[in-house]
Amino acid sequence: MRVPLSQTCCGQPAFNSGNRKEAGKMARKFLQAFAGEGYIVTPSGSCASMVKNEYPALFRDEPTMLGLASLAGERTYELSQFLVDVLGVTDPQSSFRGKVTYHDSCHLRRGLGVFEAPRKLLRSIPGVNLVEMEDSDRCCGFGGVFSIKYPHISCRMAEDKIERILATGAQFVTSGDIGCLMNIGGMISRSGYPVKPIHLAQILAGDFEVPS
């Protein structure tokens, strides 16, 4: 395994803002940093979706770069997708304990079609009690630049999401997208709700701290 120290953002924020020139610069840097034949694994569904779904559109008029982008897309996986669908992991051997609910991020669920993989991993952990929230795939209101352009709408969407999280009685809310957890976690922190946002990777690693 290698972690290229030269890597930066995949370019999605710029791409979603309509700044394709800047997105292209960042995408080129990404493709250079991750050049090779190995798998590219990311703990963020939105980043994986950007590489797999948007890089080909970004470089559609540049045959050489399009080829590189297509090859990178074939090698790119979100963490849970990689563990379950590629490695066939059935027991992550995590010591994590707690009542957990899972939020399906838009890019991971709709962009990549990944739904069952993270749940398989969570259900395989003896100490995890997975409780599904209502409308688990409803947007949390982050959407990158959406939350900046339309903060009032974003906050209301986050409030709706947290109402569904709290209704489960879960101690933890997890997801496969860092942006969603940041958005949800910000409102949880400001409001003092008794639930802790935690990335799926932390659960798999056995990180454990019951919220007070």
List, for residues 140-181, the tens digit of each pLDDT value. 988 777 887 888 998 999 999 999 999 999 999 999 998 999
CB atoms inside a 10 Å sphere around CB 91: 9
Instruction: Report CA-CA distances (Å) from 131 to 99, 101, 102, 103, 165.
Output: 7, 5, 8, 11, 10
How many separate domains does the chain show? 2
Task: Tell me: do 96 and 173 sit in the same domain.
Answer: yes
Residue 191 in any domain: the answer is: yes
Its domain, for residue 166, covers 91-205
Of 45, 65, 82, which closes a domain? 82
Percent over 70 (pLDDT), the chain: 97
Confidence of residue 212 (pLDDT cuts 50, 70, 90): very low
C-alpha to C-alpha distance for 164 and 36, rounded to whole angstroms:
43
Instruction: Report CA-CA distances (Å) from 120 to 30, 55, 56.
Output: 30, 29, 30
Indicate if the pLDDT at residue 202 is higher than 80: yes
Of 82, 108, 126, which closes a domain? 82
Residue 71 in any domain: the answer is: yes
Task: Tell me: do 131 and 55 sit in the same domain.
Answer: no
pLDDT (tens digit per residue) in 10-59: 999 899 888 999 999 999 999 999 998 899 999 999 999 999 999 999 99
Of 82, 115, 144, which closes a domain? 82
CATH number of the structural domain spanning residue 167: 3.40.50.11810
C-alpha to C-alpha distance for 143 and 21, rounded to whole angstroms:
21
- Which amino acid makes up residue 187? M
Task: Tell me: do 111 and 72 sit in the same domain.
Answer: no
Rounded to the nearest angstrom, the gap between the alpha carbon of residue 75 and the centroid of all alpha carbons in its chain is 17
- The pTM of this model reads 0.91
Residue 121 near residue 199 (C-beta atoms within 8 A):
no
